[in-house]
Structure 1
Amino acid sequence: MKPSRLVIVRHAESTRNHAKQGSVYFADDAARRVVRGTPDHLIPLTDDGLKQAEQTGAAVRDRFGVFDAVYHSGYTRTIQTAEGILAAYSPEERDRMPVRADLYIRERDPGYTYDMTTDEAEAAFPWMAEYWRTFGGFFARPPGGESLADVVARVNTFLQAIERAHHGEKVLVVTHGGTIRCLRFALEHWDYTRALRWPEGQEPANCGVTTYESDGRDPLALVDYNQVYWTVGSADDGA
């Protein structure tokens, strides 16, 4: 029992994406000033991100039509992205698409280094670089945070739930870059080596659209990955 179609969208450009410019940590205090002290679940989209979501919504509606259910992580940036996408639909169509928040598809917990600059993180955790090289980006845990392997456990719970609830239906999921990596691990049965890092150029773009389909009996199969339909702003890596 599977959904007939699972469409996964990474959130649009957030203020934190813009401030970090694809780096693991902030470059300096000036770079983090706009978002410092804002918890991850309250990080909003940029103006460009709002436009990305709206442009993506028009393409998603044209390609997939009405969904039977829409899920997001409950974080501000996924809520705003889902709202932007659904703005392309008529009020009557939106009434047919229940929208739910699910904490199992929230972003990976970044831990204590969340608001740190590169210099601060290296000073506070001088062992981190070697630890990360040893265990790799799938198993290593940021101090106080989650590994991607940890995230896979809750992603699997989410997938099992939607399989039970949405047999033969179309489901839209708006989530985060790290969570998408974990969804792909679970859905495509990656081995650990494949999961250690994104191949060059394969990081999910802001509002990148990934599609899986099933006939209801066979597992969901990847149809296409990271399709981008917007023409404004920048596709930054990050949470």
Structure 2
Amino acid sequence: MDLVSPSLLVLIRHAESARNQAKKGSVYFADDAARQVVRGVPDHLIELTPDGRKQATQTGHGIRERFGTFDYVYTSGYARTEQTAEDILSAYGSDERQQMKVKADLFIRERDPGFAYDMTTAEAEAAFPWLNEYWQTFGGFMARPPGGESLADVTGRVHTFLSDLFRERAGQKVMIVTHAGTLRCFRFLLEGWSYSQAHKWPDGQSPANCGVTTYRSAGAGQPLELVDYNQVYWTVGSATDGI
């Protein structure tokens, strides 16, 4: 991107959510019993688990010690990212919190999962018997879940978000609390990934709940460079894949 970047960009995946816990890293629910706790709750209203709240609080202490205050904190506006940001910021004193502006932006929401959102594996396979072959053909970046978005679609709106961010937050320190799929789109754009790199997370590289990814600029007019990926500052609960 040609615009001047923020001086520091810290991307954080939300803490463990109720759907993370119920799905245990699977694409769909294992059975009806697994989905009962969250069945019928729309994605933007899914909240954190008690362990997730602890993960975020512990992460806040690590972030405050490492980075100090930020100029802006962005969330996707989903309950789980807003709660994560709230708990992270609880590590800061009231005077510090007043210095940081918090803003929700729908461009960094998670990928729309489509019609199979509340389905079990058996239900999804019965409703969409062609889906596995389609997914194998097009891959995890280009393929769209039925009624939903591909990660390539999400990348388009993340690009719009970053363009605005570079224009409005040049030289500032920015924290973004978002989602696993959206993080892959950020990395695709910020690091110039190829389609093959974005196809799927390498084994063991899926972002942890509250995993912290850091980019810094060496100075005015210099691009953001990846410093580290998926740093974890908490010791409670369990890292889980998915949205």
- Residue 122 (structure 2) aligned to one of 119, 122, 146: 119
- Residue 71 (structure 2) aligned to one of 68, 72, 86: 68
User: Which residue is 1:164 aligned to?
Assistant: 167
Query: Per the alignment, in what secondary structure is the counterpart of residue 238 of structure 1?
Result: coil
Task: Give the whole-Å Cα distance in 1 for the aligned partners of 2:224 and 2:114.
Answer: 32
- Residue 50 (structure 1) aligned to one of 44, 48, 53: 53
- Residue 201 (structure 1) aligned to one of 201, 204, 217: 204
User: Which residue is 2:188 aligned to?
Assistant: 185
Deviation at 1:217, TM superposition (A): 1.1
Task: Give the whole-Å Cα distance in 1 for the aligned partners of 2:77 and 2:193.
Answer: 27
Task: Give the whole-Å Cα distance in 2 for the aligned partners of 1:201 and 1:90.
Answer: 35
Deviation at 1:219, TM superposition (A): 1.6
Tell me the alpha carbon deviations over residues 131-157 of structure 1, each in whole angstroms, 9 at most, x when there is no partner.
Answer: 000000000000000000000000001
* 1:236 and 2:237 correspond: no
* 1:217 and 2:221 correspond: yes
User: Which residue is 1:146 aligned to?
Assistant: 149
Deviation at 1:218, TM superposition (A): 2.1
Task: Give the whole-Å Cα distance in 2 for the aligned partners of 1:109 and 1:216.
Answer: 36
* 1:16 and 2:58 correspond: no
Tell me the alpha carbon deviations over residues 23-45 of structure 1, each in whole angstroms, 9 at most, x when there is no partner.
Answer: 00000000000000000000000
Task: Give the whole-Å Cα distance in 2 for the aligned partners of 1:160 and 1:57.
Answer: 27
Tell me the alpha carbon deviations over residues 153-182 of structure 1, each in whole angstroms, 9 at most, x when there is no partner.
Answer: 000011111111111110000000000000
* 1:101 and 2:95 correspond: no
> Segments of 4+ in structure 1 off by > 4 A?
none
| Structure 2 counterpart of 1:26, one-letter code | F
Task: Give the whole-Å Cα distance in 1 for the aligned partners of 2:198 and 2:174.
Answer: 24
Task: Give the whole-Å Cα distance in 2 for the aligned partners of 1:60 and 1:218.
Answer: 24
Tell me the alpha carbon deviations over residues 73-95 of structure 1, each in whole angstroms, 9 at most, x when there is no partner.
Answer: 00000000000000000011001
CA RMSD in angstroms, aligned pairs only: 0.4
Structure 2 gaps, min length 5: none
Task: Give the whole-Å Cα distance in 2 for the aligned partners of 1:160 and 1:130.
Answer: 36
User: Which residue is 1:88 aligned to?
Assistant: 91
Name the % identity: 69
| Structure 2 counterpart of 1:99, one-letter code | V
Task: Give the whole-Å Cα distance in 2 for the aligned partners of 1:136 and 1:40.
Answer: 23
Query: Per the alignment, in what secondary structure is the counterpart of residue 23 of structure 1?
Result: coil
Q: TM-score, normalised by structure 2?
A: 0.98
Query: Per the alignment, in what secondary structure is the counterpart of residue 131 of structure 1?
Result: helix
Task: Give the whole-Å Cα distance in 2 for the aligned partners of 1:177 and 1:227.
Answer: 14
How many residues align structurally? 239
- Residue 62 (structure 2) aligned to one of 52, 59, 63: 59
Q: TM-score, normalised by structure 1?
A: 0.99
User: Which residue is 1:129 aligned to?
Assistant: 132
